[in-house]
Amino acid sequence: MTWDYRLLAHQDELGHILYWDVHEVHYDDNGKPEYWTVEPVELMDGEPIDIINLLQKVWKDLSTTPPLLIQEDTGTLEILPLISKEG
């Protein structure tokens, strides 16, 4: 089983994205998201070197994987298109 940090979108009952958080996402043997942490990752907790190391790992993971949308009704994650500044 593997895991990484992913940017997860949280939405309201109408499907509007309310906010984004970084969570640990764990994958099954086929690479499909199996579960994720309920609470987001605490990015600014610990000693300075620990924070720097965590931020580097989070940046690496987020820059190489698309964000995910939590589907509350099915308990699954859906890939969201990457956000573009160009519109």
Counting Cα atoms < 13 Å in the Cβ hemisphere of 14 gives: 2
CB-side exposure of 24: number of CA atoms within 13 Å?
Answer: 12
> CA-to-CA distance for 86 and 27, rounded, in angstroms?
32
Residue 84 has pLDDT above 80, yes or no: no
- Average per-residue pLDDT in the chain? 89
What stretch of H or E contains 54?
helix 48-64
Tell me how far apart the alpha carbons of residues 41 and 56 are, in angstroms, rounded to a whole number: 13
What pLDDT sits at residue 87?
43
pLDDT at residue 4 in the model: 97
- What is the structure's pLDDT at 62? 96
Domain coordinates in residue numbering, the chain: 2-79
